[in-house]
Amino acid sequence: SPAATPADLEAAVLRVRSEHPTWGGRKIHHALRLRGVVAPQPSTITGILHRHGLIAAEESEKRRPYQRFEKAAPNELWQMDFKGHFALAGGGRCHPLTVVDDHSRYGVVLAACADERRSSVVAALTSAFRRYGLPDRMLMDNGPPWGKDFAHRHTKLTAWLMRLGIEPIHGRPFHPQTQGKNERFNGTLKREVIAGVAFADLAAVQRRFDAWLPLYNHERPHQGIGDVVPACRYRKAERSLPERLPAIVYDADCLVRRVSEGGCISLGNRRLFISFAFVGHPVGLRPTACDGVFEVMFCSYRIGTVDVRVNTHQAPP
């Protein structure tokens, strides 16, 4: 009954809810505990919110759990995406770039970009790499600037990542749940930061992003990681951003060819198309057990195969 919860405790619950209007019973429970309050159970808090008309029935349905994978350690995988762009009151649009560590859910990038060009992504990632170090892999979808399409997954952006020793991974087409943690981060960002706010310009958006991200990383309990805050599970990567990109070298068993302006290499009297992503860079051709078929390597990563018998190049599945 309502009388079972002391008035001061109920007031504390409502105070946290007022500060964070999108938080439910579980998050408020753990937030109170972090503040040194002997908190009611999440179900009790949910009941308080219902009694005060602060939870709609349809919102409860949205919070049902779903299956997810998780990397074993921080920086094994970062998930990257552009959240849907929105209009600015002063003209133009904001394209929020978000990057989340898979293991900890820690937000490593939250940038208010003017566009979705490679230069904007490189600038934001460079800042994150300097601050947090280099992840092993990055998961992204198949559209620009991450890739041209599902069949042509590499761009100059993914080539740059591979030069840094970061393996780019692309999600399955039409399966946004592959990047579920990034999608959930984007949903939280929309509810807690963007919805209902008219931003004058990109600078105003970035100020709000910069104020919210520390709260998300260090104060906001995350249900997907046992209601601890992401900062509890995150640490910086061991590899740091180099001052210069490392030289591209290949093993002695590789034939080395430079990719021309047309995205092709020459092999004997044949011209084989590789990708526009690697123009100006050397690729390695490693012989396979099948005569005339070579694995195509860029840095240490396999980017496809070429069959000189039929002049074809095939990207890896």
- Under the banding of pLDDT at 50, 70 and 90, the label for residue 65 is very low
Tokens at 299, concatenated: 């840095």
Residue 68, pLDDT score: 56
Q: What angle do CA 80, 85, 87 make, to 5 degrees?
A: 155
**CA 209 from chain center: how many Å?**
16
The 10s digit of each residue's pLDDT in 254-301 is 999 999 999 999 988 889 999 999 999 999 999 998 888 999 999 999
The 10s digit of each residue's pLDDT in 233-261 is 999 999 999 999 999 999 999 999 999 99
Which has the higher per-residue pLDDT, 125 or 226? 125
Judge contact between 111 and 135, C-beta under 8 A: no
Three-state SS letters, 92-103: CEEEEEEEEECC
- Under the banding of pLDDT at 50, 70 and 90, the label for residue 57 is very low
Q: Percentage of residues in the chain with pLDDT exceeding 90?
A: 57
* For residue 227, pLDDT beyond 90: no
Termini Cα distance of the chain: 58
Strands (E), the chain: 77-82, 86-87, 93-101, 107-113, 137-140, 167-170, 255-258, 264-267, 270-273, 282-287, 293-298, 301-307, 312-314
- What average pLDDT does this structure show over 116-133? 97
Upper half-sphere CA count for residue 188 (Cβ side, 13 Å): 27
Dihedral in degrees, nearest 10, Cα atoms 114, 115, 116, 119: -80
The 10s digit of each residue's pLDDT in 76-120 is 999 999 998 999 999 999 999 999 999 999 999 999 999 999 999
- Mean predicted lDDT score pLDDT of the chain: 87
- Under the banding of pLDDT at 50, 70 and 90, the label for residue 23 is confident
Judge contact between 122 and 108, C-beta under 8 A: no
Is residue 273 packed enough to be buried (19+ CB in 10 Å), middle (13-18) or exposed (0-12)? middle
Residues facing residue 96 across a β-bridge: 112
* For residue 191, pLDDT beyond 70: yes
Tokens at 300, concatenated: 């240490």
* For residue 224, pLDDT beyond 50: yes
The three-class DSSP label of residue 36 is coil
Q: pTM for this one?
A: 0.76
